[in-house]
A and B are shown apart, each in its own frame.
Chain A
Amino acid sequence: GDSVTQTEGLVTLTEGLPVMLNCTYQTIYSNAFLFWYVHYLNESPWLLLRSSTDNKRTEHQGFHATLHKSSSSFHLQKSSAQLSDSALYYCALSERGSALGRLHFGAGTQLIVIP
């Protein structure tokens, strides 16, 4: 079945250093959508990035990710971490491409940015 793997449970970074959160996936669907959600404490998770296009970089709020179907990866990156980036980040996969259905989430990566 479909699955998403986020390799790091906790990432601690010093402010100003680059961010890279890993996400790989497995799916039988060639047109699957990949997402990054961010979840700040006591708030709703919200969509940060999404993509279904192979090898196209997508960007939002300083973060970017490129879907690579050849390696089944959708890693989240940012050039310079800020204290306000501290949050829980989820990578997710949609099992349908034409009308988004159930999401399969990874286990999440807790990012802590320190001064």
Chain B
Amino acid sequence: GGIITQTPKFLIGQEGQKLTLKCQQNFNHDTMYWYRQDSGKGLRLIYYSITENDLQKGDLSEGYDASREKKSSFSLTVTSAQKNEMAVFLCASSPDRGNQAPLFGEGTRLSVL
């Protein structure tokens, strides 16, 4: 079976710091996503990518960059961490065809001091 691996699981940063989160999937899925989870706000899409080197902005892309270096990996960069920010970032992937819903990784938990 396949797996979506997110690294690191926990990330502690300083205000203003640039922070990078990584995601790898071995399902050979075409599309990959980054979502942010905040209590009471659901999951909000930051960026997604439908193929290698493609990037599409989601609803929450300001303050983030993303990179799809190869089909299996999708990284997210917080360009300037905000003081006291706490959130969970979830990576997901899905095939481009058929009716399979996205599968999720376990998340990266970010805390900014």
Contacts and interface: CB of A to CB of B under 8 A. Distances in A.
Interface of A: 4, 6, 9, 33, 35, 37, 42-47, 50, 52, 90, 92, 94, 99-103, 105-108
A45 B31 contact: no
B42 A90 contact: yes
B16 interface: no
Contact of B43 (A44, A50, A52, A105): A105
B44 A102 contact: no
B99 A33 contact: yes
A98 to B, nearest CB: 8
A44 B33 contact: no
20 contacts: A6-B42, A33-B101, A37-B104, A44-B90, A44-B104, A44-B106, A47-B101, A47-B103, A50-B101, A90-B43, A92-B43, A94-B101, A99-B98, A102-B45, A102-B48, A103-B101, A103-B102, A105-B42, A106-B42, A108-B43
B75 to A, nearest CB: 18
Interface of B: 4, 31, 33, 35, 40-45, 48, 58, 90, 94, 96-107
Contacts of B45: 102-103
8 A-B pairs with least C-beta separation: A105-B42, A105-B43, A107-B42, A44-B104, A45-B104, A44-B106, A47-B101, A108-B42
Given A42-B106, A102-B33, A9 B40 contact: yes
Nearest to A6: B42
B101 A100 contact: yes
A12 to B, nearest CB: 16
B86 to A, nearest CB: 15
A4 B44 CA distance: 12
Nearest to B6: A44
B107 A100 contact: no
A50 B100 CA distance: 10
B4 A44 contact: yes
Contacts of A101: 31
Contact of A43 (B33, B102, B106): B106
